Amino acid sequence: MWKKSRSNAPSAPPSFPVSLEKNCRFCLSSPTRCESVTDFPGARALRALSRRLTATRWRAGLVALALAAAFVAPGTLPARAAAPDAPATSPFARPSQTAADTQPAGNLEQTIPGFLQSPYGPPSFGAPYGTTHALGAWGGAQPWLQKHGVYVALALYEGISGNVSGGKTQSYTLAGQVGGTVDIDWQKLLGAGAWSNDLWLHMLAVNGNGQNLSRLFGDNGNQVQQIYGARGNVVAHLVWAYFEKSWFQHKVDLAAGWIPTGTFFNNSPWVCSFMNVWVCGNVTPTKYLTAGRDWPSGNIGTVLRLMPTRHFYVMGGLFAVSPHSYNGGISGWAWGQDNLGKLGTEVEIGWIPEFGPDRLVGHYKVGFLYDNSRYDDLYEGVNGQPWIVSGLAPRRHSGQTSAWVMADQMLIRHGPGEMNGLVLAGQYSYADGRTSQMNHHLVAALLDTGYLWGRPLDSVGINFQWANFSRSATLSQEAAVAYGLPFRGANFGTPYGIQGHEDIYEAFYSAHLMTGVSLQPDFQYVNHVGGTTVFKDAVVLSTALNVLF
């Protein structure tokens, strides 16, 4: 019978093992047992792949198709034995788990603090990347820094995507990012009194590159690539910089600073196992609302979380609402933007049960967002007629709302860990259709590890999405067609036709190649591209390489 590891020290509830701390079983305490990048037999192949990523578009397309073939043949990869346990990385981290419950190295977004220690959001009270890296101890620098409460990590994500059929046109693109994070445990760093206990500072910046494939094949609202967009043409786009403080053994937590709202709210660790951005990150359409913008857009704000028991929590957050296209400017560093007088409020309640002798964990949450800003109606003008035809000003609405329900439940357990088994998941989200182009979004997903075929560090999953575009958006588009006027865009871009609904089917297989390195082929079928019937359904093949240095 599997038994759950315990610790006498208080700890946060169990989380999904998607952080690189749990993915990278790289034992710093026993360097002789560690493997380096140069020792790995496929290292030369990975370097050759990296060079080819910069080749011409047609060559990139061939690489994408070749790598995607691995999706249908995961058994061709040799099984890897489970590595020994690594010690806990900080006084606040839960005991480390065996390699059998880990997942392959995820990208930077998957490893944000909220995903490391808790299924409900930060504070995490630990380094989001843990203490294990593909390049080891960095010549002794990592252990020394961590001993003094400073946690540093660098991550690389590079992806190739191509729509092999359907859409406006067939094309291939490369997209990726490099990210760096610094997390500081002030009690370790300063050796100060009780005031510094459970006090952390988290900072993260990214540099993105590439081109948006979805826009090329005619979908201005969705993104089939996990990484691309909103990073700005800058060297280091600031994602977050905030303090965390906990009291009463983590029963009361407070965070304040520059925070992406979805880092705390309407999010679950399993979602970024998938590439499609409508699933990855926090819920859609909430994150497409001005007050709900998330990764890599931060907001000036604060979050208070109360967790009287390890199975229940309630969170509330208050954030400044930026009326500009980019929160903090294109770089994310311009916090002093003008017209920040309006506020967004988010509330979420969560239940984290464990069923049966194997403690089949579930995560159930419901939340609500309200923004007290004023927004234009997508259809009606001040005279009640379509403003796109009358030329009069749109009707204004006071406040914008959104709500969400999220759930996941482990059905069969393979061993220790939050996601080491068969997991059924789903979510539903709503936004006011008078001011949001999309008003309903539904997701159903099924995920598992490669345990059954001898590769416990691999993961596999499928999901289905249904997105409905609002009646107000559709009426505006019908009026534009009737009067021969161009379509007007809103928070999901300018459509190519009259929008109704869009369906997306996705499947992935993430293969663990070595400590801190994974390769993930992905398949997506997009029905009603852009929510219209203007283009044929698109078939998209992608492959992503994730590396934690």
State mean pLDDT over 392-405: 95
Provide the β-strand partners of residue 209.
176
Scored b (16 or more CB within 10 A) or e, 375-404 reads bbbbbbbeeeebbbeeeeebbebeebbbbb
Contact 389, 347 (CB under 8 A): no
Contact 347, 368 (CB under 8 A): yes
Structure tokens at 543: 């492959």
State how far the Cα of 441 lies from the Cα of 439, in Å rounded to an integer: 7
State how far the Cα of 196 lies from the Cα of 91, in Å rounded to an integer: 13
Report CA-CA distances (Å) from 240 to 26, 83, 97, 127, 522.
Answer: 27, 33, 28, 14, 29
Closest CA to 371 of 315, 428, 435, 324: 435
State how far the Cα of 298 lies from the Cα of 280, in Å rounded to an integer: 17
pLDDT of 406-464, one tens digit each? 999 999 999 887 778 999 999 999 999 999 999 999 999 999 999 999 999 899 999 99
pLDDT of 333-353, one tens digit each? 878 777 788 999 999 999 989
State how far the Cα of 237 lies from the Cα of 331, in Å rounded to an integer: 5
Handedness of CA 218, 220, 224, 226 (dihedral sign): positive
Model pLDDT, residue 453: 93
Contact 394, 387 (CB under 8 A): yes
Model pLDDT, residue 418: 74
Instruction: Assign 229 a pLDDT band (cuts: 50, 70, 90).
Output: low
Please name the residue ranges forming H helices in 131-256.
Answer: 141-147, 186-190, 213-216
Is 176 strand, coil or helix? strand
> In angstroms, how far is CA 120 from the centroid of its own chain?
14
Model pLDDT, residue 282: 82
Model pLDDT, residue 132: 59
The single-letter code of the amino acid at 72 is: V
Contact 183, 127 (CB under 8 A): yes
Percentage of the chain lying above the pLDDT 90 cut: 46
At residue 248, what are phi and psi to the nearest 5 degrees?
55, 50
Report CA-CA distances (Å) from 222 to 196, 282, 332.
Answer: 43, 14, 23
Structure tokens at 538: 């698109």
State mean pLDDT over 507-533: 94
Prior bond of 113 cis (ω within 30°): no
**43-52 vs 57-68: helix axis angle to the nearest 10?**
140
State mean pLDDT over 485-496: 93
State mean pLDDT over 536-546: 95
Name the residue with higher pLDDT: 493 or 114: 493
Model pLDDT, residue 232: 66
Model pLDDT, residue 39: 38
The ranges assigned to domains in the chain are 20-548
The enclosing H or E element of 511 equals: strand 501-514
Scored b (16 or more CB within 10 A) or e, 177-208 reads bbbbbbbbbbbbeeeeeeebbbbbbbbbbbbb
Neighbours of 335 (CB within 10 A): 18
Is 221 strand, coil or helix? coil
pLDDT of 259-305, one tens digit each? 988 878 888 878 889 999 999 878 899 999 989 888 788 889 999 99
Model pLDDT, residue 119: 39
pLDDT of 132-151, one tens digit each? 577 777 888 888 888 888 88
State how far the Cα of 348 lies from the Cα of 264, in Å rounded to an integer: 9
The answer for residues whose C-beta is within 8 angstroms of residue 109's C-beta and 6 or more apart is 226, 227, 272, 280, 281, 295
Report CA-CA distances (Å) from 2 to 9, 414, 417.
Answer: 21, 9, 11
State how far the Cα of 425 lies from the Cα of 445, in Å rounded to an integer: 5
Instruction: Assign 61 a pLDDT band (cuts: 50, 70, 90).
Output: very low
Q: What is the domain class of 20-548 according to CATH?
A: mainly beta
Closest CA to 103 of 513, 523, 538, 526: 513
Lowest-confidence region among 110-124, 230-244, 290-304, 427-441: 110-124
